[in-house]
Each structure stands twice: as structure tokens, then as C-alpha cells.
Amino acid sequence: MKNNLLISHRWKTLGWILAVPAFFAGIYLMYLDSPDDYFQVTVPRWLEGFLWVDDGFWNSTVKPTTLSLLDEVICISLLLGLLLLAFSKEKIEDEWIQRVRLESLQWAILINTLLLIAFTIFMHGFIFVAVMELNMFTPLLVFVGRFYYVLRIKPSFSKQ
Amino acid sequence: MKNTIRVERAILNISQAELAERVQVTRQTINAIELGKYSPSAVLAIKIARVFGKKMEDVFELEEGD
């Protein structure tokens, strides 16, 4: 089966290395009292003009001199790791695996959309923004979770 | 689509893994086809039938509703 969007199987290892620690670090981050105190870096002057820091209703008057990169590093590691896991080929990439890919993608979009609808109905104010942050990861998390469940975990329940 | 892969395998005395290797797919794919959970493409169906030295129609059969 030809699929030009998929990358080499070798990227899978890097995917796991990035995604798993970032996933747990992300959970830990949610319980930190002041996550912005960690991993502080000074913003170079030339970069200030490119940063948008919202200090009110779409105002961007404050230019930060220091930024905490902890959440950015965790977020990008998790997204990149999950992306590598989702787009790297299996050792033998055959037509049934392609179908599992398609089904997993459908599950991911379905669950993500149902969650979005539920959040929109039940969450209001700041909590809505907070759950939306988590919602950034749901499509890839559901995809990767379902794909590897069908391929690796489910067969061990039903050995021939 | 029904198939007689399990029977044919028994005649040849080969495992799902061996058949999978011969037609260059995963063992799970052969398992899914045997259980009727997945209908293979024409290419794969012909390859499987060839391993058993048969025609595709001798191994695979349409069911009602297909």
C-alpha cells in the first residue's frame, strides 16, 4: 500500500521518547501552583515584536522580558511525539493496518467533536478555555491510543 | 465474504504467521480475514489463493448481502 504522508518506521522510537515523558510532565504541570516560575528565559529584543501576550480583551500592550518555556516545551514535545507515532509506518504496513488507521482517525474526529459539543454546553468562562487547552491533544491522543490498542493490545486478548 | 483459509492452512500445515510472511502482510491481517472481520483487496486475495495453489473463487466466496 502506497501512502506518501507516512514516514519511516524508525521515527516511532523518537515518537515514544517525546510523547510519553511529555504526557506525564503535562499532567504534573496541571498540578503545579505556579508553572510560570520554571524554565524562565530572557526574550531577545528582536523577538519582542513577534510575541502576542494578551493582557486583557485582545490587548497586546505588555511586552514580556522573560517567558517561562516549560509549558511550550511540554506542549510541543507531546504534539510532535504523537504526530511521529501517528504518521510513522508499521514494520509491515499492509492494507488491514491502513484500515485500522482510517478507523482510528474517524474515532478521533468523532470523539473530539463530541467532547467539543459537551464542553460548549457544560463549560463556561475560564474553565472552558482550560478544557480547550486539553482538547488540543484529544484528536492525536485518541488516534494513537485506538490505533495501538487495536494493533498491539487487542491481539493479546484473542490469541489464535 | 466467507473464506476457507483456515482449512487450507490445515491442509498445508502452515500457521497464520507463515501464511502472512508468504503474502507479505501482518499475522493480524490474516487473523482478521479468517475471522471474517476484514475483506482483503483483490490483490491480496489472489496472493493468498496462490499460496494454496487454488483460484481466488475456490478460497473466497461471496455471502448474502455482499
Number of folded domains that form chain B: 1
**Residue written as cell 490498542?**
A149
DSSP classification of residue B13: T
- Given a cut of 80, is residue A2 above it in pLDDT? no
Q: Which of A91, A96, A98, A158 to mutate to test the interface with B (most CBs of B within 10 A)?
A: A96
DSSP-derived 3-state class of residue A41 = strand
Distance of CA B27 to the CA centre of its chain: 11
β-pairing, B2-3 vs A66-68, is unpaired
In terms of phi and psi (left: phi > 0; alpha: psi -120 to 50; beta: otherwise), the region of A131 is alpha
Q: Is residue B29, in this structure, part of any structural domain at all?
A: yes
Give the DSSP letter of residue A137.
Answer: T
DSSP-derived secondary structure letter, A88: B
Q: What is the CATH number of the domain that holds B28?
A: 1.10.260.40
Q: What are the start-end ranges of the E strands in B1-66?
A: 2-3, 60-61
What domain range is B12 assigned to? 2-61
Nearest to A155 among B28, B40, B44 (CB): B28
Chain A nearest CA to B11, separation (Å): 17
The pLDDT, as a whole number, for residue A160 is 47
Could you tell me the pTM of the whole model?
0.84
Task: Please indicate, yes or no, if residue B66 is contained in any of the structural domains.
Answer: no
pLDDT digits (tens, 9 = 90+) for A93-146: 899 999 999 999 999 999 999 999 999 999 998 899 889 988 999 999 999 999
Q: Is B40 inside a domain boundary?
A: yes
